Structure 1
Amino acid sequence: MSSETSELTFRPAGPADVPALVALVESAYRGDSSRAGWTTEADLLEGQRTDVEGVTAVIDAPGSRLLLAERDGELLACCQLEHRGERAYFGMFSVRPGQQGGGVGRRVLAEAERVAGAEWGVRELEMTVIEQRAELIAWYERRGYRRTGEFSPFPYGDERFGVPLRPDLRFEKLIKAL
């Protein structure tokens, strides 16, 4: 396809990007549209994944960057980077469901690692992944991330992060040396 031969471009998100970003994140993780890709959380969580306030807060936070990946002006993916001293946090990673499995996510992750290491000078990139997402954790492991065995609870009762469909959700921290 000619669209896949066009180069991905990266840029920081701004306030005008918020509505498209909310739609992208929701489409990648929630509801039936998310099932077109492989990163869906629809079997684990219902409700929202993010909202206008959450995305705006990431864009406005000091030491934070919401990175967009576009091809020919079309938003295909995004990720959050947050500078945390010698580490950076990687989150809100979303790839349009129809684009998943074609290398877009690998390229976004590589760009996030480049920004964190080259621009911020951090030594490690960390993230948290829902422990039950074995296929996703394995994808990160193939890209050099290691499971730490450090867990944090899922925010049950805070519907800003979704409505859990099971009682045992928790996050595991993954880290990669840059």
Structure 2
Amino acid sequence: MAEVWIGLDVYGPQSEIERFRKICLAPARYGANVKGVLDIVRVAREYAPNERSSSAITLCGEAWNLREEAQKHSGTFGFKFDMAEFHEELFESLVRAFPALAFYCGCIGSGDEFMGYGWFNGPATGNAFGYFDVPEDYWSSTSQDRDPLDRLLHERRVAAIQGKALLASLAKLR
């Protein structure tokens, strides 16, 4: 496998999303590496130094080719990046580092060996991250979007997360 292409959507309180961006993305944007290296691997190592999963995190190496997406709403943030391998432990470490955030991850091996999608620290009604075979017509089909019902359910789960984040922000103002 040459590499894995990853998309990550982050949901939760805007203050936590900004903390995530500052810790994990700002070093990449403002560092010397112009390729857009993502710093989540370093963050994950710091949060899992004594766990058996830390060896897997070390093996996954760097993340690169960071592409941030426009933030459509407060409480959401999406970006894409590439890695040599995909390790669930990396994302589980991010959940420990940012427990107030929910992460929806989608990935595909560059040689179509596998694809995966689902939640890390997501809503109880959401599907946990899992691996799947890449459909034969994945790249040639007219739409790579979810089934309309799945998309609607996903949007409802995201709305529930955003509602909880808004309530938490309002409670802090009191």
TM-score, length basis structure 2: 0.30
Larger radius of gyration: 2
TM-score, length basis structure 1: 0.30
Question: Larger RCO: Structure 1 or Structure 2 (Cα < 8 Å, ≥ 6 residues apart)?
Answer: 2
Which structure: greater strand fraction? 1
